[in-house]
Each structure stands twice: as structure tokens, then as C-alpha cells.
A = this chain, B = another copy of it.
């Protein structure tokens, strides 16, 4: 750090404050000042130990404090990173669902079920789900919130012929993919997701607590079973101020 920004390390051995706490505080200030932005990778523990002139144990203790505070996170094999202030599910990268990603990141979410009824699918949805116009689909409308407020409005259309009785499931407690896989034994295989920015419609704006016309992240998805039948179509609108999608990509 000294070499980097020309400051002396802020470690004083002549004050009663523990060295590891001084280091935590020094790092905390870098983050607060925006000098170390979200996703900044800290130097390795041995490098930090050398720079601060302390033992690796002291560095580890300083980092542990910041990890506990949620300012840093460690990724196995990749290092220690500054945490983003927005939630960042990896749903651009793998076919997980928002609820699975939230659970994996330890984010507590609440689900409100706004609609859960069998309907005749709109024609484009019927086509994408490979259904005759007279078929019935589940229309499931949910709002997902964290303690900060609503983060996503989800409209799902699910083939009811492969999941009879699905309209009676309590989706405040169960995830859609979980029910399809565990209750109905369906093997979800692939999905095609499309991402774009949209102006919030009055319905979306009101659900997410935004002004109508505000930018929202829009996802459209068709999910396929292992036997290649489409099983689900969804429209998802995400509050970009509260949640960013993220993807760790490989070149080859």
C-alpha cells in the first residue's frame, strides 16, 4: 500500500489500539473513500503482511473483522475482494434462480405472491411453451424483497399439464424450480435468458417502488426440460439500484 499511494502505513505501535484494529480501520477508510471500489482485489496476505510490517496472523485477524462487517469477501482460489453494496446474483452465468442465489449469498428475502392462477396463455406464451391455445398455464406473479425493499417482480407462466395442481402450491415458502424439480420430478435442463434495460411500466414501477419510466433491468426467459420440452416462460423486472446481475466468464 505504501508503494502504491505514497502514504505511510497507518500503523502506530505507540498507541493503545490493537494493530489488527488499526489495519482494519485503514482498509475501511480506503473502501469508504471509494479508492478501493467494489470488486477490488486486495493483495495477498503475505504481501499485505510485508507492506504493513506485521505477521500474517495479524492481517488475517484484520481481514476477518472486515469480512464479518460485510465489507470484504473471500473467494476460494481467487483472493479477497471488496464487496459490492448492491446484491449481485450470478444469474447471468448459471441457471440458478434468484431465490437460490440469495440463499447462497446469505441474503434474506421475502416473497409476496400477487397471483397464482390457471389461465389460458397469451398466444406468444403458448407458442414459446409449445402449447395449443386451449391449454392451461399457471400464471404466477411474485414480488421479491430484501430488507431494503422490493428487488424483483416476476411473472412466470408454467405448463400446468406437466405439473397438475401446481396452482395450490404456497409460493411464499417454495421456489418455483424447487417445486418443479422436487414435487413434480421434472428435470430442468437449460434456459435461454435475454437481458435488456427497459423503462418501468406503471405496474412494474409501483411494485418495485420506482417512478414510472425509471430504468429497470428486464429478463425474459424460456426454460427447457431434459427431454427438450419448454416448461416455463418468464418476464422478470429488477430494481437495478438494489441488485446487479453478475457473471464470471472464462475466455476459453
Residues of A whose CB lies within 8 Å of any CB of B are 3-6, 34-37, 39-41, 84, 86, 88, 92-95, 123-124, 127-128, 130, 132-133, 188-199, 214-218, 222, 230, 238, 240, 244-252
Contacts and interface: CB of A to CB of B under 8 A. Distances in A.
A41 B230 CA distance: 9
Chain B CB within 10 Å, residue with most, of A95, A128, A192, A198: A192
Contacts of A5: 132-133
A180 B230 CA distance: 41
Contact of A192 (B127, B193, B214, B247): B247
A134 to B, nearest CB: 9
A2 B1 CA distance: 71
A174 to B, nearest CB: 18
A95 B193 contact: no
Contact of A197 (B40, B93, B215): B215
A252 B215 CA distance: 32
Given A191-B251, A193-B249, 7 more contacts: A35-B123, A35-B127, A92-B195, A195-B244, A196-B244, A215-B216, A247-B247
Contacts of A132: 3-5
B197 A248 contact: no
Nearest to A247: B193
Contacts of A193: 92, 246-247, 249
15 contacts: A5-B132, A5-B133, A34-B124, A36-B127, A84-B194, A92-B92, A92-B245, A189-B250, A190-B249, A192-B246, A193-B246, A195-B217, A195-B245, A197-B216, A197-B238
A222 B222 CA distance: 29
A251 B127 contact: no
Nearest to A216: B197
Contact of A251 (B128, B188, B222, B238): B188
A93 to B, nearest CB: 7
Contacts of A215: 197-199, 214-216
B244 A194 contact: yes
Contact of A246 (B3, B189, B195): B195
Given A4-B133, A215-B215, A250-B190, A245 B196 contact: yes
